Every structure is written in structure tokens, then in C-alpha cells.
Amino acid sequence: MALSFPAVTAAIWQAGETTAGNDNLYLWIALATGVLGLVAAFFFARSVLGSDAGTPEMRRISDAIRQGAEAFMKRQYSTIAMIAIVLAVVLYIGYRLSPFTAPYANKVVISFLIGATCSALSGQTGMWVSIRANIRTAAAARTSLGKALQLALHGGAVTGLVVVGLSLLGVGLLFLSFGGLSHPQQTPYELVGFGFGASLVALFAQLGGGIYTKAADVGADLVGKVEAGIPEDDPRNPAVIADLVGDNVGDCAGRGADIFESTAAENVGAMILGAALYPVFGLKGILFPLIVQAINLVASVVGVSIVHSGETEDPMHALNRGYYVTSLLALAGFAAAIYFMLGARWWLLGSGICGIVTSFLFVRITEYYTETRFRPVQNIAKASLTGPATNIIQGLAVGMETPALPVVVISAALLTSYYFGVRGLADVTTVSTYAKGIYGTAIATMGMLSSAAYILAMDTFGPITDNAGGIIEMSDQPHEVREKTDKLDAAGNTTKALTKGYAIGSASLAAFLLFSAYLATIHDIVHQRVAAAGGVLPDSWSFSNVNLASVPVFVGALLGAMLTYLFSSMAIKAVGRAAQMVVQDVREQFRDNPGIMEGTSQPDYGRCVRIVTTAALKEMVLPGVLAVSMPLVVGVIFRHFGAEFNPGALAETPMINGKSINLSGAEAVAALLMVGTISGILLAMLMNNGGGAWDNAKKYIETGVYGGKRSEAHKAAVVGDTVGDPFKDTAGPSLHVLIKLLATVTLVLAPLFL
């Protein structure tokens, strides 16, 4: 693999210790756009917060949601901060122990802490606005559906713009402060800690928030809907406030950290590959992903601003218009960036188009499997007529079917973008064909993430409208107002499902990009160590081939596949245990206080909130620690003991003073990363789409088919939905993050595996 390789390494360093001032301008453009994105987020937030906050009764409910969400987030991020500090110390010690990595210890740890901080700010900021946008959306729905839709989307846009803006500023400022303008080829490797920090916070935020939201939701549904026969968001249900809190801490804060981590990891991985092509594009090739993210911000601001809806229009039509405008603007900006920064190599634009088309197809495929208009959801609803068992059988079958089309799309995107990359760089002779193709896949990943801010705005739109509907229901507003919020809630359920599909698609492409960056990093480390010892690395050697016949590699692959299933099991069981406590509490409150069901006394909402908060924080730690520690354990064990099982695994193994370098640790981790990624992608698709289909089958019955609410079919569908809840909102979204966390962990820890 010829990315930053011995044949061209000397030429690279001689070619540009400094770069032209015109090229430096692109970094300043990216940083300025990041600031403008935050400014736009501020104005969107101000427009939301300046709107009517509803009646005192509505505010009482909203305040309870806000207080519960803020209390959980404070405790959750305190726990995450302690874990991050411990990992920073371990990372620093690990880097300081080797003379090869000691010079980079400070920069890696600093970038790790900044990445973690930016990721935490992304989640916190988005949730801070969402828990204040819900009441404004509910208040606006009393007079205008269109106004309510705009407020909810503007509240979601704050999350999207802050996430992409902070990612852009974080990576750009670190690149600048680490000397990227004077040593652009080396600096991207020093930014890997940023992606690791972002991944770490995203995993715990998504996992903890997912456990919280689904434990509350399952508990509220099983006792409220099935046992007590009361509607969703009924104020008599003691778990209803915890359920509404969960929408914010899971779908807003968790998904914000998730997408932040995607953009951060993609930026760093693409910059590493761009550094390898420095002889071709210079500094512009390294800064290209930052400019694409800047275009994303501008396009998303325009897309959000043009969304408006009439009183009778389906809200999804208005949201889709904004998405199409954003995608077209992103495509135009992408073409301009290719022209000015990559020498008008239009084949590379084809790679970007592959990513944009992949994004569109993932959204549409997810819509097919989760929308009530289509066969999969309707079949699950029909199966509910014969009870919960057949509902679950049909839902699981649909879930298992769902990875097929997305896998075909991902495969086509990778193959096509690889081909376009090779064609786009056909005249370059200093870089291998493999390196050209991999750069094409990197550009496809940038294309898929080029509308991330708008996609995240649509995602956060979902919990805001869900909360608004709950506030309207609990404050006993007129039925026609509830009809408006139901329309918004239905659109929000769709957007949440669509953005989960988008998130796993972007994770799939980003994971392959990061895997390529890991291989490039290992190659670079081997080259440096051979050169430092006075040896010579064979020109034909690369780390692009990992031998599956090697025992450490095969074992690493098995462990990678196992990790995704064990992690998912732990996440789902965590929801189950927490939900059991909620069910018991709700039953006890109904039994001990008969006035709750009669409407003469208030339930103790705070008890459920405290129960779920404590359980979620406790349950999130072990799966998170498992995900972080597995690559380290595998890499270090096989580094020390793998040589006996892996003699001569690669042709022309590099030598130092006549002794082969032991690559067993690096190879085993490569296998763990790749097979874990493949397994995680498939499992996440099953859980996301299967869970979404179960949820909407319940909602389809609630429209009146098969007996409607309180029918036996509805009760069966509620049971199926409770099975799907931890799939789609806990384990599935957490797997998105796990996939990328594995990649960023291996990038940061790569020097320890040799």
C-alpha cells in the first residue's frame, strides 16, 4: 500500500516544509465558516427561545422534562469525564514508554481531551435547545402547524450546526496549533486523538441516553397501555415524564455526539490519506475535507431556512424539500471544491456523487422498511392479529431482511468510488493504484457527510415534536391541537428512523476510510522504525494485505465479530433490567394510590426519573469499557506472543538488524477492526430498521386498522414495539458509534501494537 511510503517519503518531506500562502487561505476559510455556523446556530436558537412559551400548565410539564434531562446529563457527563481523564492518563503513559511515540504523547492526549470536550458540548448544546423548543413548538401548534414545524426544525438545526461547526473548528484549530501549515504531512497523524475523544464520549452518551429512554418507554408502555389501558403520554402514567426526558437525552444528546464523532473521525481519516497524496495536491489535499464540511454548513443553513409548510400539507414534504435543496447545494459546492482544490479532476467528483447518492438511497431504503405505507410494517401489523408471538416472529424476519439492500448499496458505492479514484488520479505515477482508489472512497465518505448538519436537524426535530405532543396531551389541550402535533410527531418518527439509516450508512463508509488510515499508519510506523535502526524497508512491502490463514488474524477476526454481539447483548439486557424497575414502580404507584387512575391525585414522576437515571448511568459503564479495552488487549497480547503463531505471515516481512518485525499484534487488530465493522454494520441495520418497523406497526394499528387502540392486535403490537425499542434506540445506534470507536482506538493505539 503506497500511501506515505518509503519510495516517496523523502520526496514528500523535501517538497514542502512550508506551503504557499494561497493554500493556507483554505484553512482560514474553513475556520471562518465554522464560526459562522455557530453564529447561525445562535440566531436559530434565539428565534426559538423568543417564541411563545405556552400556558402555565404547559410550562409546568415542560419544566419537569427540562429538570429531569438536565439532572441526568449533569450526572452522565460527570461520569464520562472521569472515564476520559483515566484514559488520558493511560494513553499518555503508553505513549511515553516508547522512544518512538514519546514525542507525540502531549499532542495525542491534548487532541483526545479536546475531541472529548467538543463532543460533550455538541450533545449538551443540542439538548439544551431541544428541551426549550418542545414547549414553544407545542404553543405554536395551538394556532399554526407551519409555525410549529419551523420552530421544531430550527431547534433541531441548532444541534446540527453546532455539531458540524465544532468538528470543523476543533480539527482546524488543532491542525493550526500543531504546526500543520509548516509540517502538513505529519500533523494529521497527530490529530487521531481528537477522533478517539469524540468516539469515547459519543459511545457513552448514546449508550447511556439509549438505556434511559428505552427503559422509561418500555416501562410506560407495558403498564400504561397494556395493563392499565390508558393512552400514550397520559398524565396519570408515573413514567410519562421519564419517557419524555428520554427522548431528549437519547435522541438529541446521543445522536448529536454520534454525528459529531462521524464528522470528526472522517475529517481526521481523510486528512491522513490526503497527507499521503501531498506530492499531488499539496496542502489543499489535506484541507479538502474541512472545506467540504464548511460547504455542508452553508448548504444546511440555506436548507433549514427555506422550509415552510401550509396548514394542510404533510410536514414530511416540507422537510424533504429542505433536504433536496441542501443536497443540491452541497453537490454544487463539492464540484467547486474539486475544481479549485483537486485540479478539476472530475472523476473524483464522481466519487463524491457516489457518497451523496448513497446517502439518498439509505434514507429511502430505511423509509421503505419503517413507513406505514409499505409492506414490511403492514405485514407486522397484520401478524399482530394472532398475538404477540407472531408479531415478534414477523418483526424479527423483517429486521433480518433489512441489511440486504443497504449492503448492496454500500458495496456499489465502495467499488464505484474506488474506480473513480483510480481514474481521477490515473496520471499520477508516484502513488500506487490502491492509494488512488482508497482516496476515491474517502471522497465518497465526504460526499455522504456533506449534508450531515441538515440530517441532524431532522433527527432532533423528532424528539422535539414528540415532546410537544406529550405536553399538549398532558395539559389537556383541545383535540384539534393534538391532531396538529400528531402530524408533526408522525413526521418526527419518520425522520428519526431515516437519520438512523443515514448514520449507519455514514458509519459504514467512514469505517472503511478509517481502516485504510489504520493500515497507512502501521506502514508509516514500520518505516520510521526501520529507518531509525539503520535498516531498509523493501519497496514492494506494504501493510495492505492481512493473511487470514494466520492464527492471530483469524482469532482477531472472531473476537471482532463476537464483540458486536456481546456489546449488543449487554446494552439490551441493561434496558431490560432498568425497565423492570420502572414497571415495578409504576405498578406500585397505581396500587398504593388509587387516586392516580381516578384523576384526583398526581403520580410521583420524580421517582421514575431517579430510578431510570441511576440505572442508566450504572449500566452504561461496562459495555463502554469493553469496547475501548478489546482492541488494546488483543493488540498487546499478540504483540508479545503472536510471533510464535505467525512466522512469515507476510511476504518480505520488514527486518531490523537481520530480525523480522513482529506484526502479529497489528495484524490481529486489523482483523478485529474489519470483521467487527462488518458484523456491526449488519447487526445495526437489523436492529435499527427492525425496531423502527415494530414501532410503526403499532402506530399503524393506532390509526384504526385491525381494531385500533386497546384492541388485542394493538396490545400484541405494543409488546412487539417494546422488543424493538432497545433495538432501535439503544443497541443499534450504539453500534454506529462502536464501529467508529474501534477504528479511532486502533488509530491512536497503533504504535503500541508493534
- Report the predicted TM-score, pTM, of the whole model to 2 decimal places: 0.83
d(CA 159, CA 161): 6
In this prediction, residue 21 carries a pLDDT of 53
- DSSP-assigned letters across all residues of 635-667: HHHHHHHGGGG-TT-STT--EETTEE---HHHH
Quick one: average pLDDT of 211-219? 81
Cell of 423: 481514474
Backbone angles phi, psi at 660, to 5 degrees: -70, 140
d(CA 227, CA 493): 25
Each residue of 456-483: pLDDT tens digit? Answer: 888 888 888 888 888 888 888 888 888 8
Mean pLDDT is lowest, of 356-365, 585-594, 653-662, 681-690, for 653-662
Quote the radius of gyration of the chain (alpha carbons, Å).
25
Contact present, 410 and 509 (Cβ < 8 Å): yes
Quick one: average pLDDT of 699-728? 88
Contact present, 355 and 443 (Cβ < 8 Å): yes
The better pLDDT of the pair 44, 518 is held by: 44
Quick one: average pLDDT of 706-729? 88
Quick one: average pLDDT of 585-612? 82
The answer on pLDDT for 632 being more than 90 is no
Quick one: average pLDDT of 417-434? 87
Mean pLDDT is lowest, of 232-236, 652-656, 662-666, for 652-656
| H/E segment holding residue 447 | helix 433-448
Which of 49, 64, 5 has its CA nearest to residue 242? Answer: 64
d(CA 703, CA 711): 12
| H/E segment holding residue 354 | helix 346-370
Quick one: average pLDDT of 108-135? 87
In this prediction, residue 204 carries a pLDDT of 82
In this prediction, residue 535 carries a pLDDT of 66
The answer on pLDDT for 524 being more than 80 is no
Contact present, 159 and 45 (Cβ < 8 Å): no
What average pLDDT is seen over the chain? Answer: 83
In this prediction, residue 367 carries a pLDDT of 84
The answer on pLDDT for 291 being more than 90 is yes
Each residue of 357-400: pLDDT tens digit? Answer: 988 888 888 888 988 889 999 999 999 999 999 999 999 999 99
Residue 727 DSSP one-character state: I
HSE (CB half, 13 Å, CA atoms) of 42?
6
Quick one: average pLDDT of 617-639? 84
In this prediction, residue 392 carries a pLDDT of 94
In this prediction, residue 17 carries a pLDDT of 39
With both helix axes pointing from N to C terminus, report the angle between 479-532 and 255-276 in degrees, rounded to the nearest 10: 30
Residue 137 DSSP one-character state: H
Contact present, 262 and 242 (Cβ < 8 Å): no
In this prediction, residue 395 carries a pLDDT of 93
In this prediction, residue 7 carries a pLDDT of 34
Q: How far is CA 690 from CA 225, 501, 585, 696, 723, in A?
A: 21, 11, 29, 10, 10
Residue 650 pLDDT level (bands cut at 50, 70, 90): very low
Residue 13 pLDDT level (bands cut at 50, 70, 90): very low
3-state DSSP of 174-194: HHHHCCCCCCCCCHHHHHHHH
Which of 158, 74, 167, 185 has its CA nearest to residue 114? Answer: 167
d(CA 221, CA 229): 10
d(CA 296, CA 560): 33
Contact present, 298 and 325 (Cβ < 8 Å): no
Residue 259 pLDDT level (bands cut at 50, 70, 90): confident
The better pLDDT of the pair 15, 375 is held by: 375
Cell of 743: 477504528
Three-state secondary-structure class, residue 266 = helix
Quick one: average pLDDT of 579-605? 83
Quick one: average pLDDT of 124-142? 87
Query: Which residue(s) pair with 656 in the sheet?
Result: 659
Residue 541 DSSP one-character state: -
The answer on pLDDT for 643 being more than 70 is no
Contact present, 552 and 668 (Cβ < 8 Å): yes
Which residues, in sequence order, are CB contacts of 211 under 8 Å at separation 6+?
A: 571, 574, 575, 578, 615, 616, 619, 620, 730
Quick one: average pLDDT of 707-733? 87
Percent of the chain with pLDDT over 70: 93
d(CA 663, CA 652): 12
Burial class (CB in 10 A: 0-12, 13-18, 19+), 98: middle
Quick one: average pLDDT of 17-32? 75
Chain CA centroid to CA 439, Å: 22
The better pLDDT of the pair 645, 32 is held by: 32
d(CA 112, CA 749): 12
d(CA 687, CA 693): 10
Which residues, in sequence order, are CB contacts of 383 under 8 Å at separation 6+?
A: 390, 391, 393, 394, 395
d(CA 393, CA 586): 29
With both helix axes pointing from N to C terminus, report the angle between 21-49 and 145-177 in degrees, rounded to the nearest 10: 150
Contact present, 62 and 187 (Cβ < 8 Å): no
Cell of 121: 458540548
Mean pLDDT is lowest, of 38-42, 229-233, 591-595, 701-705, for 229-233
Each residue of 333-362: pLDDT tens digit? Answer: 999 999 999 888 899 999 999 988 988 888
In this prediction, residue 666 carries a pLDDT of 84
